[in-house]
Amino acid sequence: MTLPGRARAGRRELFANALTLLVLIAGTHAVAVGALDWNPSRWTAPWSGDVVLVAAGLVFLGLAFLVPLHAGMINLGIHAEFLAGYSVGALIVRGRVFGPAGEAGLGLVAGALAGALVGVVISVLRRKFAVHEILSGLLLGSVFVPIARAISVERVTPPALSIDLPALTQPLRWVPGVGLAPNVVLGWGILLLTFSLVAAVMFANFLRTSVSGFEVRATGSNPLAAGAVGTDVEGIHRSMMALGGAFAGLTGALQLWTSPAVALERWPFPLGFAGIAVAFLGLGSLRGAAIVAIILAAWLNTPYVGTVLANPSYGAAAAALLLLPALWVLPRTFPDFGAPRSIWRTRHRD
């Protein structure tokens, strides 16, 4: 099955992205071994349940960027949506009305809705006031940073997920930093990763086989032509931003389940923007994003990565590498006609 991708990338871009990932992984290892005196022999557990949970978050964030991208929207409000999801989820946890288990689930749903709302606000700002989604997204992100910080968060324990695997009943000695019970990490992680992958496949299928998906692709490729044949271009922008925002908000709320030591928070730049790196490293395709999310999750879970990324110089270098593919992938995601004009303008006019 071919999963539709927004980027028209070829072998050269694929090779460049693979090389970037290789440099990132090998470079972190080399820094750890050389500069930080890391002893590789101490690395006994390359895989942990945390990888699954982190990969799920990265896939969701990748979707948060890719879904609007298919409709021709650059969702740089992804961090605002992520923080909105986190903040609203945290408020629900603070309310202490529903009990820990209920709060965990409700926090996720409320977080997703909050992210969707931010996505809708961004698209409405674009339609009503011609504020480009890049500008409004970044501004909203900066607004949500102090809000998220102001809400003191206590970790919430999701309901125990019963998985009939005896190994999971024992503590997993290689995930002490996460601070979660192993069945939570692995059980919920598997469930959420499965859900994220199913969501990706369903969205790909929606794009390929449904009338609405066809309209989304037409809107993303040429909004003028789509509008001319009667497609509700603004409606599509709004709904895709809402869906993307929901994925980002869900990931934000998911952070409530984990302690600050969780691997995803080792990310070297604002966490919400991880979706952009995943989308571009995955060459704009849903399949690519899923693969990259899993690779990056494994990389983040290597024991020395936290130490390397905590160093400002190495963290900045890693951030640059993660965003580097935007240079060659972003131009390939533009609509058909007059790319620089159409992507930067909010009102298409001949």
Which stretches of the chain bind other proteins, using CB under 8 A? Answer: 8, 209-212, 214-215, 217-218, 221-222, 224-231, 335-338, 350
What does the alpha-carbon distance between residue 111 and residue 247 come to, in Å, rounded to a whole number? Answer: 9
Q: How many CB atoms lie within 10 A of CB 16?
A: 17
Do 260 and 310 form a contact (C-beta atoms < 8 A)? no
**Beta carbon of residue 218, minimum distance to other proteins (angstroms, whole number):** 6
Residue tagged 């992210």 (tokens): 115
d(C-alpha 336, C-alpha 243), whole Å = 24
Query: Which tokens hold the place of 338?
Result: 């007059």
Residue 246 contacts residue 113 (beta carbons within 8 Å):
yes
Residue in the structure block whose two tokens are 């102001």: 150
222 or 311: CB nearest other proteins:
222
Nearer CB in complex with other proteins: 8/173: 8
Give me the half-sphere count of Cα atoms (radius 13 Å) on the Cβ side of residue 116. 13
Minimal distance in Å, beta carbon 72 to other proteins? 11
CB of 337 to other proteins, least distance (A): 5
Q: Output 99 or 338, the one with its CB closest to other proteins.
A: 338
- The residue among 218 and 277 lying less far from other proteins, judged by its C-beta, is 218
Which CB, 79 or 238, lies closer to other proteins?
A: 238
> Measured from the CB of residue 134, what is the shortest distance to other proteins in angstroms?
21
Identity of the residue, 224 or 343, whose beta carbon is nearer to other proteins in the bound complex: 224
| Distance in Å, CB of 322 to other proteins, minimum | 27
For residue 164, which amino acid is it?
Answer: D
| Residues whose CB is less than 8 angstroms from the CB of residue 198 and which lie 6 or more positions away in sequence, other chains included | none
Which lies closer to other proteins via its Cβ, residue 25 or residue 225? 225
Least distance to other proteins, CB of residue 274, Å: 28
Q: How many CA atoms lie within 13 A of 139 on its CB side?
A: 9
User: Given the complex with other proteins, which of 8 and 149 has the nearer CB atom?
Assistant: 8
181: phi > 0 → left, psi -120 to 50 → alpha, else beta; which?
A: beta
> Given the complex with other proteins, which of 13 and 50 has the nearer CB atom?
13
Structure tokens at 105: 């689930």
- Residue 8 CB, nearest approach to other proteins (Å): 7
| Count, residues in the chain | 350
H or E element in which residue 105 lies: helix 99-129
Smallest distance from other proteins to CB 69, Å: 14
CB burial class (10 A; 0-12, 13-18, 19+) of residue 95?
exposed
Q: Is the dihedral of CA 321, 330, 247, 135 positive or negative?
A: positive
Report yes or no: 151 and 87 within 8 Å, Cβ to Cβ.
yes
In whole angstroms, the minimum distance from the beta carbon of 65 to other proteins comes to: 19
CB 58 within 8 A of CB 297: yes
5 forms bridges with which residues in the sheet?
285
